[in-house]
């Protein structure tokens, strides 16, 4: 990605990540000049793709991802769009952003799915 094609709009509040105990400060930006992008670390992301915000906001596309690590159960919001699960850090940031903007529509958080072994995975539902 060409960093010169990105216009920083602002810094969002820190988000705590319960699995890692890190505090992350997301930066919101507008991609003014799109350029090719690819996965940098396959341990963190399986693929890069675009999805309309309306699809992410749609309550039918919302789920709760459940993962067990070190004898503990962690739950976080996730999105099931175009047969791909968006979960982990990306879903947590999107969830906070939509909440802060007042865009979140009521969704059924009891609709749980197992978190995939990779941060974004294709699924059949």
The strand pairing partners of 114, in sequence order, are 66
Domain borders along the chain are: 3-122
Which tokens go with 104?
A: 């979140």
Please state the rounded mean pLDDT for residues 31-54: 84
Residue 119 pLDDT more than 60?
A: no
Please state the rounded mean pLDDT for residues 26-39: 84
How many Cα atoms are found within 13 Å in the side-chain-facing hemisphere of 73?
7
Q: pTM score, two decimals?
A: 0.79
* pLDDT per residue as tens digits for the range 61-117: 999 999 888 888 989 999 999 888 999 888 988 998 999 889 999 999 999 999 886
Most confident residue range from 1-10, 16-25, 69-78: 69-78
Sheet harboring 120-122: ordered strands across? 112-114, 62-69, 72-81, 84-86, 120-122
Predicted pLDDT at 124: 42
What's the CA gap between 61 and 59, in Å, rounded? Answer: 5
């Amino acid at each position: 990605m060409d960093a010169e094609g990105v216009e920083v709009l602002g810094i969002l509040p820190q988000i705590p990540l319960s699995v890692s105990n890190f505090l992350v400060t997301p930066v919101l930006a507008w991609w003014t000049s799109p350029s090719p992008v690819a996965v940098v670390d396959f341990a963190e992301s399986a693929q890069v793709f675009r999805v309309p915000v309306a699809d992410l906001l749609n309550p039918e596309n919302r789920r709760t991802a459940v993962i067990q690590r070190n004898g503990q159960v962690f739950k976080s919001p996730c999105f099931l769009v175009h047969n791909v699960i968006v979960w982990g850090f990306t879903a947590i940031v999107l969830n906070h952003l939509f909440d802060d903007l007042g865009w979140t529509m009521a969704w059924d958080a009891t609709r749980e799915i197992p978190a995939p072994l990779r941060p974004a995975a294709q699924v059949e539902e």
